[in-house]
Structure 1
Amino acid sequence: MAAPLRTITGSSGDPLAEAIELTKRLKLPHIRRALTDLIPTAKAQRWDPAEVVRVLLAEEAAGRDGANLRTRRKRAGFPAGKTFGDWDETASSISRQVQDSLKTLEWVTRKENLCVCGPSGTGKSHFTEALGQAAVEAGMTVAWFAIEDLGALVRRHRVDDSLARAMTRLIRSDLIIVDDIGLLPVSTDAAEGFFRLVDAAYERRALAVSSNLHPSGFDEIMPKTLATATVDRLLHHAHVVVTQGDSFRLTEATSGKGVRPLH
């Protein structure tokens, strides 16, 4: 036999005001914002009570989803807000088939890596950040770093010998992006941080790396022993994408599209 519904006493005053107070108590801010407009509409259109409940719960769910998305995007630490909305897939030297395959993010769920390498200005950072933004929108967590950020992390946590714990926290993200490797020689601390990250994430999390150098040339910018160990783990389960062509930035600059015309 089904248990009887709990008896709820009737309202002693304004039901809407009491409902609003209850949403505060139960921490339902999105329902609270919807109540004032929704209840008169429901009365006027004689909605079924179940429909009222459904719409209110849908408002709360959508509001929480939006808040979670904003939180994940903020925590990711993206540098420029680049997305596929401002990405010209036809101008990229990356084939459409490869672009479309990577956009599915199946490689992230399989905990595989991505290495995008090629000359400066060929869309490496834009493409990897856009993939990160897409992952955030798909409900995943992402962390973005420049490689020297990893050096700062090593120095900060070496003091109290907490680097291993810091790496464990870092790889809680579904996707970790390390951007712009190869522009300058990598500091010893950054090389160590990069190795520790790749080692900690190996077969546990997806990594995306953008670089002016192919990973096989990382020994040009960091100690050979560390480079060899890092690349061995990085490339074992990796998709390597090589960009080509002239710099988008230089092309825009020489054609006068890099700035707005002066008046």
Structure 2
Amino acid sequence: MGKTHVAQALGHLAIRLGANVRFAKTSRVLAELAGGHADRTWDKRMRELIRPDVLILDDFAMRQLSAAQADDLYELVSERQGRSLLITSNRAPSDWYPLFPSPVAAESLLDRLINTSRQVIMNGPSCRPNKRPKNPSEKGS
């Protein structure tokens, strides 16, 4: 069972318990907020992300962030303070810091995330190893 599957299952359980839940890839949320800067609907789009009882951001910290993306994430996390936020990532939180354009932005955001969270570490092989092509550099091929 993978991290996305577990996150979706927790979201489904929250819905069954009466919560309003939104699931999205982190990259899509950032693109949505960037679009809001472009068309002047950022406040409306941010309110829609703040509103759910549970917000699930899948595949957090997949790539480096621009200054605008880091600012948007900071605002989102700050505004959701006290509301449930579930994040999935392939990286350990300690590996998130270099993805931010400034150490201050990283510390501000990650302090809010890490110090108020519970972490579930899922170790083990991918659920999809037989569905991907073999890497020629892997031993035993």
Smaller-chain TM-score bracket: 0.7 to 0.9
Partner Cα distance (1:167, 1:129) in 2: 22
What's the C-alpha RMSD, in Å, of the aligned pairs?
2.1
Q: 1:148 aligns with which of 27, 40, 47?
A: 27
Partner Cα distance (1:187, 1:249) in 2: 31
| Structure 1 gap ranges (5+) | 1-86, 88-122, 255-263
Matches within 5 A, 1:242-257: 242-250=121-129, 252-253=130-131
Q: 1:209 aligns with which of 73, 81, 87?
A: 87
Letter in 1 for 2:93: P
Structure with the larger helix share:
1
1:128 aligns with 2:10: no
1:158 aligns with 37
The superposition leaves residues 45-90 of structure 1 with CA deviations (integer Å, 9 ceiling, x where unpaired) of xxxxxxxxxxxxxxxxxxxxxxxxxxxxxxxxxxxxxxxxxx5xxx
1:185 Cα shift? Answer: 2.6
Provide the identity percentage.
29
- Equivalent residue pairs, number: 131
| Structure 2 gap ranges (5+) | 133-141
Partner Cα distance (1:150, 1:248) in 2: 25
| TM-score normalised by the chain length of structure 1 | 0.45
Partner Cα distance (2:15, 2:62) in 1: 27
Matches within 5 A, 1:81-92: none
1:193 aligns with 72
1:232 aligns with 2:105: no
Does the 8 Å contact 1:144/1:179 carry over to 2?
yes
1:160 Cα shift? Answer: 5.1
Partner Cα distance (2:113, 2:30) in 1: 18
Please give the secondary structure, in 1, of the residue aligned with 2:120. strand
1:222 aligns with 100
2:63 aligns with 184
Please give the secondary structure, in 2, of the residue aligned with 1:248. coil
Which structure's CA Rg is the greater one? 1
